Structure 1
């Protein structure tokens, strides 16, 4: 096995551990706060701390990535995650948890941004969709397994958190065995002050999926546990229903990535957005039938669970290689902003309106994106034109 492929597979294993961590910690803390009698609005605000940390750090992540490299940036993120995870069980104060969850967000964002950019760099353009889908698949597998850790809670609050700490040690060992690398240098003629505007102008459609994925993921993992408990579902059912979305994405993650390599990312995302939107609109009709809930979430996950990786691959199609890290920064900010909005918007909806409206909102967002894909006439030749402009 070449060193590049070895690095790829180490990153795949590490991101699966990171996915499991996030998949467990989000619903775990939501359940703990609900059991303490915290309101849905305050629960949502506390959950938003994770994504506030992401948004605060995202604009600056390109600096350490270029200065200390991919692996070192990932290791810094792992250290921050480890510290926050170890401290959360020691405190029960809402404000302390808020700041610790911010620290987790900073660590998560550092880890994911660096690993995503590393995979994008080492992936061949002909298999970029497949490789990034494999990355998304690894995260999805970990994320789907994560909520099962809720069943460890009856053994003591330390048990689920201790399990995460053991997995972090495994990630540190894996990362220690690969060589550090650095991203491509920016061409000197590129104007830094215009970089973000240029990426937004050329790759705006490719950056929307990161927002949508962040909103859906946080809505399901941060708000659905509260919605479920308030409609009479047990924690055990929540731990089984929640993974359905990610399990669905696992089924089609690789096929959709490979299909996008052949027929185009935009076409694949258009159809997927329509299917996912319909599944979310139908969700309220499931009533209290948990099996119908699981089927609909699995369909939605199969359709849109790979949106982040497809969007990132599409941005790499549209932009020069040196500008892809900038697109990754914007995608991370979009994800964080959406994840901040989701628990707060959903908390208000559940408090002042019908709880099921959170699913109609997700469906509506997907249909709007599908319309944008349908009417957009973005040409891939823009990438070549931009490359020529940058070299003048």
Structure 2
């Protein structure tokens, strides 16, 4: 495979991730705002948004074998098609249950696209450039996610315009994906595993990388709490739709500024040291956003600062989990990351809506801060355990050496 085609392939993978991020970043605040304006309660609003992540959660554990059979290209195309078609169907009927089904389809598509793209990038990337490529993957999704809420402003031209515009962009990328050559992952060369072997594989990967999955869960909670519940919080606090479209991208913008630099720092100094520290300070800044919830610039600066630290947690956790696993375990690690991310995304909107009702001022941000802090503590504890176990093993080996 020549180098120019490899660049073209990587560009298309990154483009598909970007457009997926933009669609997801638009749908969460757009639908939440429309339902809020139509009198849907905050709790029902939050429950409705979980459908996207129910789709992700249900579908991803079933993808390993089908992707091995049909290849990366087919999965990418099918995934993006399941995102594109609902975008054209949303304006047809503004109904909570109809939109629930459409967001379920988007969740299936999102899960298929991300699993194929991140596995293809991780497996095909040379070891010395894997961290950089993962950072670019995260950066591309982050840029798309930051651009998505800006499409909400197109509501000025009509309710259908943001959906159709996003759908057209997705269609262009979808057609370009047909230019790719299909490749097949070598996920397993063994015979069909027994149920015991199946669960044993999961158990080993979870035991090896549980703190990384905790970080992914916290990021999923953070992301959907902000994008789904924040518009409801802001509207009730008296902020305008234009203000929301400025405040929401602030967090993602902070993440974009430091995505690659943090990835490079992690490669140089070790993600096991960097990750718990940035989570700790990110939790403090989220607490600050809660304390300054009545002040536009206070929230903006706290969200921007928190974004610079924890806005790239997904790509950071991808690298961290890859560090903790053997190369053969990485595809399964990606599956479990998506599961944890989806669970966090499902809990986030509901929990955020409940906290808005309990603590109208800053409850939304305090909840986010708690989960990021728990992720930080998880990394500290896990790394302490790994270091202690390594020291004991080294001591044991040293003690045995004279008897050899």
TM over 0.5, shorter chain? yes
RMSD: 1.9
Give the CA deviation at 1:187: 4.6
Conserved 8 A contact 2:135-2:259: yes
Contact residue 23 and residue 145 of structure 2 kept, 8 A: yes
1:229-378 paired onto structure 2 within 5 Å: 229-377=235-383, 378=386
Task: Report SS of the residue matched to 2:71.
Answer: helix
1:55 corresponding residue in structure 2: 57
The answer to whether 1:100 aligns with 2:106 is no
Hey, what's the Cα distance between the residues in 2 that align with 1:143 and 1:115? 16
Match of 1:149 in 2: 151
- Aligned partner (choices 34, 37, 48) of residue 36 of structure 2: 34
Aligned residue number for residue 203 of structure 1: 209
Question: How far does residue 320 in structure 1 lie from its aligned partner after superposition?
Answer: 2.1
Residues of 1 paired with 2:257 and 2:241: CA distance? Answer: 25
Structure 1 stretches lacking a partner, 5+ long: 386-392
The range that moved more, 313-322 or 127-136, is 313-322
Report how far residue 255 of structure 1 moved: 0.5
Residue of structure 1 in register with 2:20 after alignment? 18
1:371 Cα deviation after fit:
1.9
Deviation at 1:169, TM superposition (A): 1.6
Asked if residue 217 in structure 1 is aligned to residue 223 in structure 2, the reply is yes
- Aligned residues of 2:233 and 2:360 also touching (Cα < 8 A): no
Does the 8 Å contact 1:274/1:366 carry over to 2? yes
State the partner residue of 1:181: 183
**What CA distance in whole angstroms lies between the structure 2 residues aligned with 1:76 and 1:208?**
29
Of the three residues 111, 115, 140, the one matched with 1:113 is 115
Q: Is the 8 A contact 2:212 2:321 kept in 1?
A: yes
In 2, the alpha carbon distance for the partners of 1:232 and 1:121 equals 48
- The corresponding residue for 2:232 is 226
Could you tell me how far 1:84 is from its partner in structure 2? 1.3
**Number of equivalenced pairs:** 383
The Cα shift of 1:355 comes to: 4.2
Q: Which runs of 5+ in 2 are unaligned?
A: 394-404
CA distance in 1, matches of 2:75, 2:325: 23
Given that residues 126 and 261 in structure 1 are in contact (C-alpha distance below 8 angstroms), is that contact kept between their aligned partners in structure 2? no
Q: Could you tell me which residue of structure 1 aligns to residue 9 of structure 2?
A: 7
Residue number in structure 2 paired with 1:172:
174
Report the TM-score, using the length of structure 2 for normalisation.
Answer: 0.91
Q: CA deviation at 1:2?
A: 3.7
Q: CA deviation at 1:176?
A: 1.6
Separation (CA, whole Å) in 1 of partners of 2:307 and 2:63: 29
- Alpha-carbon shift at residue 111 of structure 1 (Å): 0.8
Query: Which 10-residue stretch deviates more, 242-251 or 86-95?
Result: 86-95
Q: Deviations over 1:176-217 (max 9, x none)?
A: 222111212425288333111111011111212211111010
Structure 1 or 2, whichever has the larger Rg, is: 2
**Partner residue, 1:389:** none
- Distance (Å, rounded) in 1 between the aligned partners of 2:144 and 2:338: 19
Contact 1:22 1:146 in 2 (8 A): yes
Query: 1:287 & 1:220 partners in 2: Cα distance?
Result: 13
**Bigger shift: residues 11-20 or 351-360:** 351-360
- Asked if structure 1 preserves the Cα contact closer than 8 Å seen for 2:279 and 2:373, the reply is yes
